[in-house]
Every structure is written in C-alpha cells, then in structure tokens.
Structure 1
Amino acid sequence: MSWTSRALINCAALQHNLNIAKKTAPNSKVLAVIKSNGYGHGITHVAQSLIAADGFAVASIQEAILVRKNHPSKTILVLQGFIDSRELALFKQYKLNPVIHSKAQLAILEFSGSKALSSDTVYWFKIDTGMGRLGFAADECITSLNRLEKYLNSKSNIILMSHFANADDITDKTTNNQIKIFNDIFLNYNYQKTIANSAGILGWSESHFDWIRAGIMLYGVSPFNNYEQTYNLQTVMTLESRLIAINHHKKGDTIGYGGGWRCPKDMTIGVVSIGYGDGYPRQAKTGTPVIIAGIKTSLIGRVSMDMICIDLSSIDKIELGGIVTLWGSDLEGNGLAIEEVAGCANTIAYELLCQITKRVELVYQ
C-alpha cells in the first residue's frame, strides 16, 4: 500500500528501555505508563511489547478498559481515579486500581458501601508533596489515610504515592524536598510506596521505593533537559514522510503562508507530505532539522496542515518520493533526536509524540 507519512515503532527498543528501568531500580516493581495512546505509539501494541512490566498505568477509565480486554489479569492503575459512582462501578467491573487523591472520592466510597470494589482492589493513596495538582495536602493526608483504612476495615491493599514536579532538572532541590516530605509523613507506615517517574528512576536513586513508574524513558526519550545524555535508551519512534515535489526558485521568491520566508539565492526546495494535520508541530521554525538522502537539512517557511518545505540546495541526489525523516533514525542509521525538533518548536518531546494523528500510519517492527 502506498503511504505518505508513517511512524515506525521499534518494539524491541520498548523492551530494551523497560529493561533499563528494571536494572536501574532492581528492587522495585515497574509500572509501565502507557497513557495517551501509549505516548502516541499505539496503546494496544505498546502494552503487548511491555508485557514484562509488573503493571500498567493509564490516565483514564477508557484507556484502562481498552488495555484490560487483552490483559485480563494485569495490574492496571488509573491515575485520575474515579469521579462518581458510575465510574466506580466500572472499576469493579474491569478490576481496575484507583488513585485516591481527594476527600470527594472517599465520600463516594463510603456512600457506595464496603463492596463497591473487589476485595483484591489496591488503592493508591496520593499525597501532594509539591506538584500542586492531585493528592491530599500534607496536613490532611494522615486523617484521610485513616479514613480510607476505616472504610476498608484493613491496613492492607493500600499503596502510598506522590509525583515529582521538577525532577527533569537534576540540579533542582525541589525533588529532594519532595522525597523528604514523603518519607517524613509516612515514616511509621509499612505500606508499599511509589514516587519515582522516569526522571526519578534515572536521576534519584533515593526515590526507588517498592514501585517505580516508567513513562517517557520507555519510548527512548530522556526525561532531562540535557537530552544528549541518553542513558543507553533506544529510540522507539521514527517519523517519516515523502518528498512529493521538487521546485526551483529564484532569489527573492517567497515560500509558504504569509510569505514570511524569502529565498536568499536561487535554490532548490522540496515539498514534504506532512504537516500539523499529521501532528508535526506548526510552531516548528525555519531551521528545524530533517534528514533526506542521509543528509541533515532544514525546514523553511511555515508548517502547513498537510505539507512542509525543506531546503534541498546542498543535496545532489534527490528523487521524487524520497523518504524524509522528521525524527528518529533513517535507513542509514543517521539519527535526529525528537528533543532537538521539540526545541525548535518551543515545546517538549512528550507533546510531539502524543499529538501524532490517526492520519499517520503506525508500523510495528
């Protein structure tokens, strides 16, 4: 079948990166975070590739149900928890684990009775140690935890958790403070604990509690600002498109919407069949790198919905239909870090991966 844009997904790289997480925190169980359609890689295939993880973490009930269909006995944690009794019933039906992060959820449980969820359900009790998003405040968490224990009539089936806010900056002291708050509050509790995300796994060994939550690192992307340090992670996604036109322009010709880019000389310009309709970032600026024929060149002009223009002036052998690599590795092994592309678009690699649209074919290798 003919194609225009596709994302090549290296399943072996997913498994390699999971092993990196396991080796880095050998005494911890691993939750593979596969939310947002497996960070744009396709949640069903990603889950199958990461079957060796101890469990999966997703954002929503919808994602959890999709995963549960193929993994009937796997631990599945829903990071946003439930917001009403209707959703609570789905947790029971599909044997899902909730994050408990608010008094409203405790009230829903109490109102629903002791059999609202299965007896083997694990409740992941979340404290806000500095993220300021979900979780019980430090001064109310013990009271709320006691309330959950009373509801369960048990001190089992509870895991204590929190989430890092600034761990992507290895020099930021916020992470140390969050670990200290977490440890101080739960000093006298023997529950299993988890706080480490990808940055915590790779940069903060003191955060390796009973469980770790591997996310962006599984997809071969560094969680740190200095992406050139790869931690031996392997790239999972390579985004490719094709050259659909080769045009020869004169000095002074304008390229793209708004005429904001003007040819500084007579030059050859290629048109590539990808744009923001495929998830390529509209904010990508002139100079954003791409690879064609094994040579790195750059984007010129604005990104359109379906097309971008690239500079072909320094490339001798060009063929219509040639493959253009937007990030990842080309057939000759030339690499283009998604983090570099993200920087040129004033965003982060997470967003680029997650915004890949259905128009892009996912090809699993």
Structure 2
Amino acid sequence: MTDTPGSVDSDEEELRPTRVEVDLDVLTANLRSIRDHVGQARVMAILKANAYGHGLVPVACHMVRQGVDSIGLALLEEAVLLRRAGVEVPILVFGGITVKQMPQFLDHGLTLTAPSVEKLRFIDAAAAARGVQARVHLKVDTGMERIGIHYYSARQLLEASLTCRHVIVEGIYSHFANADSADLGHARLQLERFLEVLSFYDSRSLPMPVRHIANSAGILQMPESHLDMVRPGILLYGVYPSDECVRAVNVSPALTWKSRVAYFKVVQPGHPVSYGSTWQSDRPVRVITIPAGYGDGYFRSLSNRSEVIVRGRRFPVVGRVCMDQMMVCLEQGTAYNGDEVILLGQGDGDQGGISAADLATWAGTIPYEVLTSINTRVPRVYRGG
C-alpha cells in the first residue's frame, strides 16, 4: 500500500528495519466485537493522534470500508487530511475552534463541537456569513472540567441552540473521567447529570439529538451509557483502557512494533554500556544493538527496565536508551545481525508478547501514551484488509 501517507509497500519495507505493522483484519474483528456488544448504538471510530499511532489515513479508509457511522478527531488538521484523502463520512472534531479555522470547518463539511453559548453563536454567525448550515454537537461538562458547558448551566446552551438559524444540532455529548475505574460511582454520577440535561428535549417535546458519552471504558463497563452512539478509541485497537476494566469485549492488539539486530558484541566485565554508564556486567556478556530509540517514541525512561523479544525469548534493555539506538543483553544467548526484534507485540516463542500495558508499566505511564508516542518517522506497514 503506497497510496496513503505513512505506508510503505513490500519493496520499501527494508529501507528501515524499525517499523510498525498494523493488521487491518484485527481492526475489523475488534470493530465487529464492539458492534456486537453495543447492539443498535452507532459507532464513532476515534482516530485522533494518528489513529492511536496506527496511521490516520490508512486506518480511516479501512474503517470507512467497514461501515463506521462517523469518525471522531481532536484537531481540524486531522479532519482536513481525511477529507483530502477522500473520506466522506461525518467527522466530529472535539477540540476548540478559532476564528481563522472556521472557514475550513465549513468548507470541508466538518462537524463542530459547541462547548459554550459564545462559541455556538460564533459558529452560527460564521455559517450565516457563508450562506451554509453548520453541523454541531453540543458539549456538556458533567465532571471532567476540561471543555464544555457545565451541566448545571447547560440549559442556556440548549436554549441558545433553538435560536440559531444556521446551525443544525446533530448531537449532544459528554465525556467520562473515571469510567475505567473499578469504582464507577463518579461515572454513574456523570451519566445521571447528562441524562438530566437531556430531559430538556423531552420536557419541550423537541426532537432528541444523537446522544453519546460512552468511551472505550464506558462501552466495557456501563452498558446503560451506550445511548445512541459510542466512541471506541483505544479499545478499537485491541488495548483495554486500564487493568481495572472488565474485559466485556474480546479484542486483540492490531499493532506490532519491530526492529532488527544491527550489531553484536561481547561486552567485558567492568565496561559500562551507553550514556551515563548506568549498567555494567560482572562477567562477559553478549550485547546487541537495536536501531530504535526515544527519537522513535521508545521512551528513555525504559532504560534498564524494559524487555524485548529475540528469537522467541525475552531479554532486558540495558544502559540508557539513546535517541536512535538501544542495547539489549543476551547474557550467553545467541542472535545474528538481521534477526527480528519485537519491541511491542506478540513474539513467536512461548514467553508471550510485549504489550502496551507492559511498556506503560515499565515507563510509569499508560498504554495510550505508549501507542500515540510512536514517532511518524517509523514506517507503517499494513497487512490484511
């Protein structure tokens, strides 16, 4: 596949041994599992942050072929890129709006988030000036304290929307702050607040916009939150939001991050490895160099903590991770230049794979950051689909 940004064909795969492989068939299976779980609810595929590191345009085109109802993104630039790639399904942009951005939102037929009365009126005026109808989703803050009108003031926004002549209110939404926790008390409170805001429409016998609040964690743990539409993000890519989440949907990781052995050496005792001399052995050991580093998104905080898979076995990363390279200690194990190395994903041996959760634990972060930090300089290769 070479007709989409960020992909390489089979003749180009070896230009750089460090690469990400994305299995489109696994994405299809994950989407099917989510659909089976949420029943009649629509599915908005969340593809922000380069489709969680999987490659925005190729994944979006694949999701469209699988019939997703809409796409959710964080930035105008992401949405424009998809429109220019021929993606025609509805695209909701979650982020804020500036004056200079408005023409592009309207010209590309994008759906805007209206988080306040002021922004809603701004959208209405801009659409009127261009002689078009703007499509919006109203954003209600039920306990995230990020963007959106507070639930206790939301009636002002809903009433204002009834007076806008160049705005079509297609949806209304909120976002969970703690739906990935074992304790769902706060999430249930947020849902209760959201439903109370929605009663505005029933009390006035008005058509109800599309209601959505369920993210990946809400999909898994709160079926009562599925409403009219759900927004799977990390779950779509086969990773669970947290260790506390119920595994109510069967999904598998679609991404494998690979490299190859670039150098083999025997390191003598008392000879430290890499910057800062943070690791050394007390006996001769075999050490290999891998051409991947924090410049690719393999965190420096993984130094002396993480593991990789070589020839079906797990081995530790030793010394500090460099910008473009890192070292792995084989002890007395064997590897040859060109051997495949799994940085993230399933190996061929019996010791299991390296999961995004593994890397997150070693780095002291979350799987979301692991996936979205894989740099765009790492080629993406697509399988299946």
**Which TM-score band applies after superposition, normalised by the shorter structure?**
over 0.9
Cα pair 2:30 2:238 within 8 Å, conserved: yes
2:337 aligns with: 320
Is 1:108 equivalent to 2:129 in the alignment?
no
2:111 aligns with: 97
> Aligned runs of 1:227-306 on 2, under 5 Å?
229=247, 231-306=249-324
Distance apart, 1:271 and its partner CA: 1.0
Change (3 A) 1:114 1:9: same
Q: How many residues align?
A: 361
Q: State the one-letter code of the partner of 1:65.
A: V
Q: Runs of 4+ in structure 1 displaced over 4 angstroms?
A: 226-230, 331-334
1:209 aligns with: 227
> Aligned runs of 1:109-258 on 2, under 5 Å?
109-112=123-126, 114=128, 116=130, 118-119=132-133, 121-152=134-165, 157-189=169-201, 190-226=208-244, 229=247, 231-258=249-276
Q: State the one-letter code of the partner of 2:359.
A: V
**Quick check: which one's helix share is greater?**
2
- Please give the secondary structure, in 2, of the residue aligned with 1:45: helix
- Please give the secondary structure, in 1, of the residue aligned with 2:199: coil
2:7 aligns with: none
Distance apart, 1:266 and its partner CA: 2.3
In the alignment, the residues of structure 1 paired with residue 72 and residue 318 of structure 2 have an alpha-carbon distance, to the nearest angstrom, of 39
Q: State the one-letter code of the partner of 2:267.
A: H
In the alignment, the residues of structure 1 paired with residue 123 and residue 338 of structure 2 have an alpha-carbon distance, to the nearest angstrom, of 58
Is 1:8 equivalent to 2:21 in the alignment?
yes
- Please give the secondary structure, in 1, of the residue aligned with 2:299: coil
Cα pair 1:82 1:88 within 8 Å, conserved: yes
Q: State the one-letter code of the partner of 2:93.
A: V
Q: Which ranges in structure 2 are unaligned for 5 or more consecutive residues? A: 1-11, 202-207
Q: State the one-letter code of the partner of 2:121.
A: A
Is 1:19 equivalent to 2:32 in the alignment?
yes
Cα pair 2:161 2:169 within 8 Å, conserved: no
Change (3 A) 1:193 1:353: same
Distance apart, 1:253 and its partner CA: 2.1
Change (3 A) 1:230 1:306: farther
Distance apart, 1:353 and its partner CA: 1.5
Change (3 A) 1:223 1:113: closer
Distance apart, 1:345 and its partner CA: 0.7
Distance apart, 1:301 and its partner CA: 1.4
* Range moving further from structure 2, 164-173 or 59-68: 164-173
In the alignment, the residues of structure 2 paired with residue 131 and residue 104 of structure 1 have an alpha-carbon distance, to the nearest angstrom, of 20
TM-score when scaled to structure 1? 0.93
1:349 aligns with: 367
Identity percentage of aligned residues? 30
Deviations 1:117-169 (A, max 9, x none): 743x4311010001110100122211111112211388x63311000111121
Q: Which ranges in structure 1 are unaligned for 5 or more consecutive residues? A: none
1:59 aligns with: 74
Distance apart, 1:81 and its partner CA: 4.3
